[in-house]
Structure 1
Amino acid sequence: MTDGATARPRQDHGEGSPGAARPTSRDVARAAGVSQATVSLVLGEKWRGRVSERTAETVREAARALGYRPNLAARNLRLGRTRTALLVIPALTNEFFARVYTGAARVADRHGFGVVVYPSPDGTGPAKDPFPSARAALDGVIASSMATSALTALHGSGLPLVMLDSDPAEPGAAAHVNLDITDGIRQVAGHLLGLGHRDFLHLASEVDSWTFRLRHRALGEALGAAPGTSLRTVRAAFDVTAAREAAEAALTGPGPRPTAVVCDGDILAAGACKAARRLGLRVPGDLSVSGFDDLALATAVEPELTTVRLPAEEVGERGMRALLDVLDHRAPARGDLPVELVLRGSTGPAPAGTTG
C-alpha cells in the first residue's frame, strides 16, 4: 500500500456518527490529502513499512488540528486490546519515578494508550492486585526492579512485561530498559580518584535490588583497580534522616576517616552532607560527597551536589515504546541508556596529607 493510493472505504466503521458535529476519519483524510485507509493505518499504528514517516506525521497533525478522536472502544474490540498499560513503581512521591511516569505517559498518549500507576504501598513491598482480572483490564506491564515484589499478584497473567533497571539475565520479561549504571559509578570513582581521594565510604541503599547491587559491585571494582584505596560500606533507608545517622556513625567510627562519600542517591547524599555539618566537617574541604540521580534536591542543598544524571523521562519513554513494540511483534530497542556525571560544589581535592 502506498501513501494515499488506496480507494476510500465507504464506511467510517463507527468512527463518526452520521450527522454528528465531531470530525470523522474522512475529515482527517481530506485535511491531510490522503485516503481514509491511510488515516486508519496511521492512527491505528499500523503504518510502518506502508506509509512514510512524513505522511504519518501529516495525518497526526491533521487529526490534532481537527480535534479528531477515533472510536477507541470499537477499535479495541476489533484488536482485542484495552490500550492500557500498568506502570509498577515504588512510589510517585519519588521524583525519579514521577519523571519515569511522565515519559511513559507522553509516549502512551501519542499512541492512544493510557497508563495506570501502581505504586507499592510502602515504597518497596508487595501490593494487592488492583484489578479483578489483570488480563481483562491491561495490555501489558512496565515495572521497576525496585518494586518487583508488587508483581506477585500479576504473575501468571500472561501479560507482556517490560522491566526497568533490572537484571537482563533474569527470565520472564519481554524486554529490559536499563541505564548504564556501571559507567556512572566509574565516572564518579574516576573523578574522586583524580582528586586524590583514597579512603572511601559507600553510603548504600538498604533496598535489595539489582540496580543497587550493581552499584556496589561497580564501585568495588573501580576502586580496587586503584592502588592504596580503602572502601567501607554502610546501608541506610532512602531517607535523609536515616542517611544522616548512618553517615555520622561511619564517619566517627574506628579507623581512618573517609575523605569521600559515594552515595546511591541524592537523598542519601543530602543526609551525608547534614552529617558532615553536625560533625564540624567542611564539604568539600574535609569531605567530598557525591550523589546519584540528579534530582531537584541536588541543586537545593549547599554546596550543590556532584551527581550522576539519570534520564528518568527517557527511561519511561523507552519502556512504553518497548511495550508497544512487543504488542506489535517488533523487536524493542536494545542497549543501555547513557548517564552523565554532573560536577558541582560538593566534591573537591582530598585534604592535605591524605592523598595517595
Structure 2
Amino acid sequence: MTRPTSRDVASAAGVSQATVSLVLGDKWQGRVSVRTADLVREAAGRLGYRPNLAARNLRLGSTRTALLVVPALTNEFFARVYTGAARIAAEHGFGVVLYPSPDGTGPARDPFASARAALDGVIASSMAADALEALGGDGLPLVMLDSDPAAGPAAAHVNLAVADGMRQVAEHLLPLGHRRFLHLASAVDSWTFETRAEALAALLGPHAELRTVRAPLTVDGARRAMEGALAAPGPRPTAVVCDDDILAAGACKAARRLGLRVPEDLSVTGFDDLALATAVEPELTTVRLPAERVGEQGMAALLAVLEGTPWTAPELPVELVVRGSSGPAPGR
C-alpha cells in the first residue's frame, strides 16, 4: 500500500498543500479557519498520513531529541543512566527516548523509519560501536558510555574506572588472607566485562590462584554456574569476585544451598551497588558505580558535540562499599 502524501491530504480536505503544512505544523492560527483546520486533521487521520520527518527536520534543523540505547530494561543500572541523561536533557530543552536493543549487546535495529530523520544524536550504554550501524551510521552524532574508548566512530566517550574498581576489590580481599579466587564473570561479550576480567587477573597475578566461570546475568543462571564451580574437584575458593550484583546474589544463593556460610566460609563481592545489594543477607560488598552521573555526562557530551565543542573527560571514579558479604579467609 502506498504511503499517503500531503498532496493526498490536501485533495481529500479540498485545500492546498500549503494549508496542510500550516495545520499539521501547528502554525495555522490566524491564517486558517478552525473549520478548515479540522477538515485537514480529519483527512490526515482518515488516510493515516504521517508527516515526512526528514523534510521537517531539513527545515527546522533539529528535533531536540536524543536516543539512549541500552542492552536491556531489566537492569537497574540502565534505568539510572536514563535518569541522569533525561535530567540534563530537560535542562536544555531536549527529550530522551529510551530504546532497549532487541538483541541485547548485539546489532541494534533502527526503531524509526530513519533514525537520522527522527533524532539529533545517539547515546549508547555498554554497547559496541559496530552494533549501532543501523542507527544512522557515521551521519548521526554518537556518544558511547561504558564502552571501548578506542572504538569508532563515536564522537565522545564516557567511561567508568572499572579497572580501578577491581583494584579496590583485590586490595580489600588480599589483606584478609584470600589466596584462592573464583571470578564469576558475565557471559555477555562486552568491553566493560572484558576490562574487569583483565584487571582482576593482572592484580591477582602472582599473589593468588584465579579461576573464571561465566554465567548469564540472572540470579538463577549465576546460582547454577556457582554450584557447579563449588562442586568441582580441588580446593574450594575462599573468595568469589562477581562482575555484577545480580551474579553475586546468585553466588550467595548457591553457597547457602551447599551449606556454606557467607562470609565465614566464602566471601562474595559484587559490582554496581544496585538496590539488590542491600536486599540480600548478608548485604553485599560491592563496587558502587555512579550510573546517574554516567547518564548526565553522556548527555552533556552529546550537547557539546552538537554545538561543535570538543568534549573530553576523565573516567568517572568508582568506590568499593564494604558490607557483610566479605571477611577474612577461612582459618585465618
TM-score (norm 1): 0.75
* Residue of structure 2 in register with 1:163 after alignment: 144
1:338 is paired with a residue whose SS is coil
Q: Comparing 278-287 with 146-155, which one deviates more in the overlay? A: 146-155
1:118 to 99, 113, 138: 99
1:343 to 302, 322, 325: 322
1:289 is paired with a residue whose SS is strand
Q: Comparing 324-333 with 214-223, which one deviates more in the overlay? A: 324-333
* Residue of structure 2 in register with 1:298 after alignment: 277
Q: What does 1:191-230 correspond to in 2, within 5 Å?
A: 191-226=172-207, 229-230=208-209
Q: Give the deviation of 1:243 after TM superposition.
A: 0.2
Unaligned runs of 5+ in 1: 1-13, 19-75
Cα pair 1:123 1:147 within 8 Å, conserved: no
Unaligned runs of 5+ in 2: 1-25, 31-56
* Residue of structure 2 in register with 1:46 after alignment: none
Q: Give the deviation of 1:255 after TM superposition.
A: 1.3
Q: Which of the two has greater helix per residue?
A: 2
Q: Give the deviation of 1:169 after TM superposition.
A: 1.2
* Residue of structure 2 in register with 1:308 after alignment: 287
* Residue of structure 1 in register with 2:15 after alignment: none
Q: Give the deviation of 1:125 after TM superposition.
A: 3.2
CA distance in 2, matches of 1:93, 1:220: 29
CA distance in 1, matches of 2:125, 2:108: 14
2:241 is paired with a residue whose SS is strand
> Over aligned residue pairs, what C-alpha RMSD do you find?
2.0
* Residue of structure 2 in register with 1:175 after alignment: 156
What is the CA deviation profile of residues 185-233 of structure 1, one whole-angstrom value per residue up to 9, with x for unaligned ones? 000011000111000000000011100000000000110152xx10000
Cα pair 2:105 2:126 within 8 Å, conserved: no
Q: Comparing 146-155 with 251-260, which one deviates more in the overlay? A: 146-155
Amino acid at match of 2:106: G
Cα pair 1:120 1:147 within 8 Å, conserved: no
What is the CA deviation profile of residues 274-326 of structure 1, one whole-angstrom value per residue up to 9, with x for unaligned ones? 00000000000000000000000000000000000000000000000000000
Does structure 1 residue 84 correspond to structure 2 residue 65? Answer: yes
CA distance in 1, matches of 2:138, 2:196: 32
Q: Comparing 204-213 with 325-334, which one deviates more in the overlay? A: 325-334
1:318 to 297, 306, 316: 297
1:277 to 247, 252, 256: 256
Does structure 1 residue 107 correspond to structure 2 residue 88? Answer: yes
* Residue of structure 2 in register with 1:268 after alignment: 247
1:291 is paired with a residue whose SS is strand
- Percent identity over paired residues: 75
1:137 to 114, 118, 138: 118
Q: Give the deviation of 1:146 after TM superposition.
A: 3.4
The number of equivalent residue pairs is: 281
Does structure 1 residue 98 correspond to structure 2 residue 79? Answer: yes
CA distance in 1, matches of 2:206, 2:90: 47
CA distance in 2, matches of 1:143, 1:268: 23
Q: Give the deviation of 1:115 after TM superposition.
A: 0.6
Does structure 1 residue 330 correspond to structure 2 residue 309? Answer: yes
Q: What does 1:6-85 correspond to in 2, within 5 Å?
A: 80-85=61-66
Displacement over 4 Å in runs of 4+: 76-79, 147-150
